[in-house]
Amino acid sequence: MTPEQVRALLEDSGALQKGHFRLSSGRHSDLYVQKFRVFERPDATRALGAALADLFDFAAVVSPAVGAVVLGFSVALARGARSVFAERVHGELKLRRGFTLGAGERVLVVEDVVTTGASAREVVELAKGWGADVVGVGALLDRSEGEVELGAPLSSLLRLEATSWEPEACPLCAAGTPLEDPGSRRL
């Protein structure tokens, strides 16, 4: 899939919305990402997973729960690989449920959206702690500003330039565009 096709798929499903949004950080943005609008569509998620699987050579996928589990499953399905996920236990990502990663196993970390990359980096470290050979981080969206150091090479299906402003500096406020609060709608 080309980045243009990925963007069209995200927009058509409502996962990528254009407008004027108040983010949970308090900043204003002209884009809002609600990834589960696309992950609730298995056909679309299967296509995205296959596109990500094509970018790497791996035998197992590990994803941070909950957000990336569906995408990770889809990537693993496309390759016939194992799919495991990491969960937070007292604030730290761990493998539970009897999941393991093998020493030297070629492992792909799958993340839905990389912004600061903190969760992806933590999963990379977790996998390395099991002795796995981490081949990379595959992400649906890369929203990072500049280079993020994840401990493994990042490839994404779509790179979105971060577009957010402090409210005082927001050009959409200046233009009088009504502000939406997707956080409150989500509740």
The CB-nearest residue to Zn ion is: 170
Entry field: residues in the chain = 187
Q: Which of residues 63-122 bind Zn ion (CB under 5 A)?
A: none
Residue 172 CB, nearest approach to Zn ion (Å): 4
Stretch in the footprint of Zn ion (CB under 5 A) among 53-61, 125-133, 148-156, 172-180: 172-180
Amino acid, res. 10: L
Out of 10, 21, 28, 79, the residue judged to bind Zn ion by CB under 5 A = 28
**Strand-pair partners of 156:** 139
Q: Which is nearer to Zn ion, 31 or 93 (CB)?
A: 31
149-167 burial, b at 16+ Cβ within 10 Å, e below that, comes to ebbbebebbbebeeebeee
Amino acid, res. 101: L
Q: Which is nearer to Zn ion, 104 or 171 (CB)?
A: 171
User: How many C-beta atoms surround the C-beta of residue 142 within 10 A?
Assistant: 21
Q: Which of residues 31-60 bind Zn ion (CB under 5 A)?
A: none
The footprint of Zn ion (CB under 5 A) covers: 28, 170, 172-173
